[in-house]
Amino acid sequence: MPLLEVKNLNLSVLTGNDLLPVVRDVSFRVDENQTLGIVGESGCGKSLTSLAIMGLLGGTPISMTSGSIVFSGQELTSLTNKERRSIMGNQIAMIFQEPMTSLNPVYRVGDQIIESLRKHRQMTKTKAKKRAIELLDLVKIPEPENRVESYPHQLSGGQRQRVMIAMALACDPKLLIADEPTTALDVTVQDEVLALIRDLQQRLGTALILISHDLGVIANTCDYVAVMYRGKIVEAAPTADLFSNVNHPYTHGLLNSIPVIDRDIEWLKAIPGRVPTINEKLAGCAFNPRCNIAENICTTCDPEQITLHDDHYVRCHFAKRGTND
């Protein structure tokens, strides 16, 4: 049984009187101890998907129009807000992009971890503090006994993100969702934080959903990758399989767009055009205006999801033919 199974998730945003779809028919599963990477450009719906899982769409103009989210055999969408909150932060925890804004600047970092422990685990204050120090030690913050007394502004960006990870791990969640956890960090710090996430994930056996725009980050951290474009998963496969057997022209284009540091490329093969805004209505495959292999069928008919082989799924009319130049 998968730990988390998202089926046909559809999200729409209300602008004016229009309900515009922003996430369409997204389905994926995460097994225990597995790492799923969701990659895509800004506005592709990857962050909204994670917010939907966390039940954090209330108060936004975005609503879930259909779909199901099953976590450990429990349908999350049918729970009351209160029941959902007890799962959030407890069994599913989240790490956000900007560690400065997601930590409350007026409380000591220790107190913020202690508060969450006392709320979800009903621990005594001394016990919770001991656990907070353990957690800071776990995320490799030096001198955790002193650091629990620090305020967020006294820590560096990398340390703040470590604190966020410690907070997320406070209640031994079964699933951790990390939304661009290292985007705001420098590469050297990013490397350390990613190493930490990989290490913890292996030691604690927590399942992880890592959301990023950076294919490099995903490739180095995840077992399974889902590529999103304009609200849809266009290609999903185990990491090694995805990179050795690219099928969707968007994935292909994305890989060609990245300037690599290992060799010289005279001109990058950029994807032409631009990312369509949510207001634009596109018939057929959403990628067809930018696709180099698009034919008539692509402008009229939206491709269904095709299974290539075990666990490699593509949404492209020409999937089996391949697109390699």
Partner 1 sequence: MISNSLLEVRNLHTHFTLGGWLDTKQVIRAVNGITFHINRGEVLSLVGESGCGKSTVGRTLTRLENATSGQVIFDGKDVLQMPASEFRILRRDIQMIFQDPYASLNPRLKIVTTLSEPLFCHKLVRSRSDAREKIADILERVGMDRNDMHRYPHEFSGGQRQRIAIARVMILAPRLVIADEAVSALDVSIQAQVLNLIKKLQQENGMALLFISHDLGVVRHISDRVAVMYQGNIVETGTKHQIFDEPNHSYTKLLLGSIPRIPMGIYS
Find the shortest distance in angstroms from Cβ 280 to partner 1.
Answer: 11
Which of 268, 282, 297, 301 lies at the binding interface for partner 1 (CB under 8 A)? 268
C-beta neighbour count of 113 within 10 angstroms = 24
**Which of 287, 286, 323 lies closest to 308, judged by CA?**
323
Note every long-range contact of 69-74, with CB atoms under 8 Å and residues 24 or more positions apart, other chains counting: 69/4, 69/5, 69/6, 69/7, 69/9, 70/2, 70/4, 70/5, 70/6, 70/7, 71/3, 71/4, 71/175, 72/1, 72/3, 72/174, 73/1
Distance CA 12, CA 21 (A): 4
Q: Which position among 20, 164, 167, 254 is part of the footprint of partner 1 (CB under 8 A)? A: 254
State the nearest-atom distance from the C-beta of 40 to partner 1, in Å.
9
Closest CB 215 distance from partner 1, rounded Å: 6
**Dist. CA 130–CA 134, nearest whole Å:** 6
Interactions with partner 1, residue window 277-296 (CB under 8 A): 277, 290
**Residue 275 found at the interface with partner 1 (CB under 8 A):** yes
**Subset of residues 184 to 213 that bind partner 1, contact rule: CB under 8 A:** 186-188, 190-191, 194, 213
Q: Which residues contact 299 (CB under 8 A, 6 or more apart)?
A: 283, 284, 285, 288
Q: Which of residues 64-83 bind partner 1 (CB under 8 A)?
A: none
Which lies closer to partner 1 via its Cβ, residue 102 or residue 220? Answer: 220
Q: Count of residues binding partner 1 (CB under 8 A)? A: 42
Q: How far apart are CA 68 and CA 82, in angstroms?
A: 18
How far is the C-alpha of 168 from the C-alpha of 148, rounded, in Å? 15
- Does 98 help bind partner 1 (rule: CB under 8 A)? no
Restricted to residues 1-60, the positions that interact with partner 1 (CB under 8 A) are 41-42
259 binds partner 1 (CB under 8 A): yes
Tell the smallest beta-carbon distance from residue 92 to partner 1 (Å).
25
Site for partner 1, rule CB under 8 A: 41-42, 186-188, 190-191, 194, 213-217, 219-221, 240, 243-244, 246, 253-262, 264-265, 267-272, 274-275, 277, 290
